[in-house]
Amino acid sequence: MHYMHFNPIFSRDNFHALYLSAEWLCPIIFLAYISQGIHAPYDETDALLLLTAQRKKKVETGNGIIINLLQLCTLPLWPINKQLARKINCRLGYSISSQLVALLEWWSGTECTLYTDPESYKLYGKENAIVVLNHNFEIDFMTGWTFCERFGVLGSSKVLAKKELSFVPVIGWMWYFLEIVFCKRKWEEDRKTVVQSLRNLQDYPEKFWFLLHCEGTRFTEKKHKISMEVAEKKGLPKLKYHLLPRTKGFCVTVQNLRGTVTAVYDSTLNFRNNEMPTLLGVLNGKKYHADLYVRRIPLDTIPEDESECAAWLHKLYQEKDEFQEHYRQTGRFPGPITNPPRQLWALLNWLFWVCLLVYPLCMLLLQLLLSGSTFTVVCTFVFCLAVSVGIRWMIGQTEIDKSSNYGNKDMQMNNN
Ligand SMILES: CC/C=C\C/C=C\C/C=C\C/C=C\C/C=C\C/C=C/CCC(=O)SCCNC(=O)CCNC(=O)[C@H](O)C(C)(C)COP(=O)(O)OP(=O)(O)OC[C@H]1O[C@@H](n2cnc3c(N)ncnc32)[C@H](O)[C@@H]1OP(=O)(O)O
Ligand SMILES: CCCCCCCCCCCCCCCC(=O)OC[C@@H](O)COP(=O)(O)O
């Protein structure tokens, strides 16, 4: 995929102004949005921005459904030409995930800085890799996607994801067609399905990164406390900034992708000024500063024996903990900054969908609301409300204060 490098011609303010001018004000949507009292608008974000973010969500969900339907249409192709079906689905998947990348990079203007050695940098995007990334933030998936985009593997990127995410409209449905590996986080049930799904990727026709959040759940103080009690029982060093990693998924991934994947990218993410970014913040135009430290580790340096591989992962997380300590002391990760520039394609893809859908959606909405039929108006209002509540539920999937019980005390008691 040819990349155009360019100096950012849109400043954030210009971009918002440009977008607003192209945007219809739709008081009904605005009322639908405010009437739910979903969340207090951010101080520095005015009503216009809230409205635009809300309209954008509808547009992006709308085109996400269209892309899911197109993915569905590729089903007859799978038994005839699986590799072609996979390539088509990578591009359809790209059209969805790149919109969230555009949201992060262009709408919120979030800066993503990469710390890595220049020799490894040359290999990123040119080989299959397993990415081990800490799981502390609500938008680490968006930051991950941004780097996938910059190295040309966004459409084919994979992850070991909890089964619950497969039910999230648009993103979760897209992942089925990208052959994402889902797990129930119950090893006795996961063992077989995870191994089979991993083996299925051995002949994948596109370069891909396979993401593993080895902690298995987002960091919370309560889960950290429980996790450190487990570490003490196992005689493992305590971690300050991470949960103790679950090793079985990593070991089985290394075991089944050996020969397909050439390296592990140990990735440690943090945000400047102790920011705790949120998807709502990004949607409302807040700018964050992500720093990612990546070490490329050749796969053949990782032990094949399961217990040695588990010990290797525990040591890796101890090193990651030290990198986070270094970051908190110095405000940066070790090593040189080698920053891949933002790509234009994500922005162009987003603008394409906005231009394609905003006008027809608005006209349809206005016609329904001006139909003169009370029943139609009420149904339209209810539909807008339902879609907004649905989108808010999807955004809630990223919020740590709504996180699962996995790794909590009661779950730990059940596991014993
Ligand atoms: C150049 C740029 C480089 C990089 C750019 C960055 C990223 C780009 C990469 C890719 C694409 C980006 C983004 C992709 C898009 C979206 C991302 C989506 C995110 C969603 C991800 C998730 O859903 S995370 C949750 C699901 N995933 C996992 O859980 C993975 C980790 N878990 C495992 O691997 C597990 O082993 C398992 C799930 C396979 C099985 O878990 P289970 O719990 O059933 O069994 P385990 O054996 O693992 O656990 C029991 C062992 O753990 C010990 N234990 C018990 N309680 C605790 C506790 N509270 N804390 C810690 N440990 C505990 C117990 O003692 C057992 O120990 P053993 O020694 O017996 O194993
Ligand atoms: C502009 C478009 C706006 C439309 C809304 C988009 C909403 C996208 C929601 C997709 C979310 C998919 C990625 C979520 C990744 C994630 O962070 O999952 C959490 C799990 O790892 C662990 O869960 P837990 O055990 O609860 O910590």
In sequence order, which residues have a C-beta less than 8 Å from that of residue 118 and are 6 or more positions away? Answer: 336, 338
Please state, in angstroms and as integers, the Cα–Cα distance from residue 362 to each residue in 54, 144, 336, 376, following that order.
13, 33, 48, 16
Give the pLDDT score at 60.
Answer: 74
* Residue labelled with tokens 């790794």: 407
Query: Token pair 């397993």 is at which residue?
Result: 130
Give start and end residues of each alpha helix (H) in 274-397: 279-283, 306-330, 344-369, 374-396
3-state secondary structure string, 356-369?
HHHHHHHHHHHHHH
Structure tokens at 393: 């539920």
**Local confidence pLDDT in tens for the 416 residues of the chain:** 343 443 344 445 444 444 433 333 333 333 333 333 333 344 444 455 555 666 677 777 778 888 999 999 999 999 999 999 999 999 999 999 999 999 999 999 999 999 999 999 999 999 999 999 999 999 999 999 999 999 999 999 999 999 999 999 999 999 999 999 999 999 999 999 999 999 999 999 999 999 999 999 999 999 999 999 999 999 999 999 999 999 999 999 999 999 999 999 999 999 999 999 999 999 999 999 999 999 999 999 999 999 999 999 999 999 999 999 999 999 999 989 988 988 899 999 998 998 888 888 889 999 998 988 999 999 999 999 999 999 999 999 999 999 999 998 745 455 54
State if residue 186 touches ligand 1 by the CB under 6 angstroms criterion: yes
As a whole number of angstroms, the distance between CA 72 and CA 94 comes to: 15
Q: Which residue is closest in CA terms to ligand 1's atom 55?
A: 412
Which atom of ligand 1 is closest in space to residue 190's alpha carbon? 39
Q: What span, in angstroms and rounded, lies between the C-alpha atoms of 335 and 8?
A: 26
Distance 304 CA to ligand 2 centre (A): 32
From the CA of 214, give the closest atom in ligand 1: 31
Compute, in angstroms, the gap from residue 233 CA to the centroid of ligand 2: 32
In the prediction, which pLDDT does 409 show? 72
Cα–ligand 2 centroid distance for 66 (angstroms): 20
pLDDT the model gives residue 49: 54
Neighbouring residues of 321: CB distance < 8 A, sequence distance ≥ 6 = 239, 240, 241, 242
Whole-model pTM: value is 0.88
The whole-angstrom separation of Cα 373 and Cα 371 is 5
- Segments of 72-134 assigned E as strands: 111-115, 129-133
pLDDT at 371: 87
Judge whether 76 and 129 are in contact, CB under 8 Å.
no
Ligand 2 centroid to Cα of residue 397, in Å, is 4
Q: How is the beta sheet containing 181-183 ordered, strand by strand? A: 111-115, 289-298, 263-271, 129-133, 209-212, 158-162, 181-183
Q: How far is the CA of 218 from the centre of ligand 1 (A)?
A: 10
Pocket lining: 246 vs ligand 2, CB cutoff 6 Å? no
User: Positive or negative, the Cα torsion across 265, 268, 272, 276?
Assistant: positive
Mutational pocket test of ligand 2: of 95, 212, 398, the residue with most ligand atoms within 8 Å of the beta carbon: 398
Sign of the CA dihedral running 221, 222, 223, 227: positive
What pLDDT shows up at residue 50? Answer: 56
Strands 158-162 and 209-212: parallel
**Which of 162, 174, 353, 392 is the pocket-test mutation for ligand 2 (most atoms within 8 Å of CB)?**
162
| Residue 51 confidence (pLDDT) | 58
Identify whether the C-beta of residue 279 lies closer than 8 Å to the C-beta of residue 139.
yes
Output the six-digit token pair for 360: 């027809």
Interior angle at CA 356, CA 352 and CA 362, nearest 5:
135
Please report which residue ranges of 122-260 form alpha helices under DSSP H.
140-150, 171-177, 187-200, 221-234, 247-257
- Which residue owns the Cα nearest ligand 1 atom 38? 185
Chain CA centroid to CA 60, Å? 15
- How many CB atoms lie under 10 A from the CB of residue 352? 13
Using DSSP's 3-state secondary structure scheme, residue 378 falls into helix
Angstrom distance (rounded) from CA 185 to CA 183:
5
Cα–Cα distance measured from residue 127 to residue 278, given in angstroms and rounded to the nearest whole number: 31
Query: How close is the Cα of 181 to the center of ligand 2, in Å?
Result: 15
Judged on CB neighbours under 10 Å (0-12, 13-18, 19+), 261 is: buried
Span from the CA of 370 to the centroid of ligand 2 (angstroms)? 37
SS (H, E, C) 25-88: CCHHHHHHHHHCCCCCCCCCCCHHHHHHHHHHHHHHHHHHHHHHHHHHHCHHHCCCCHHHHHHH
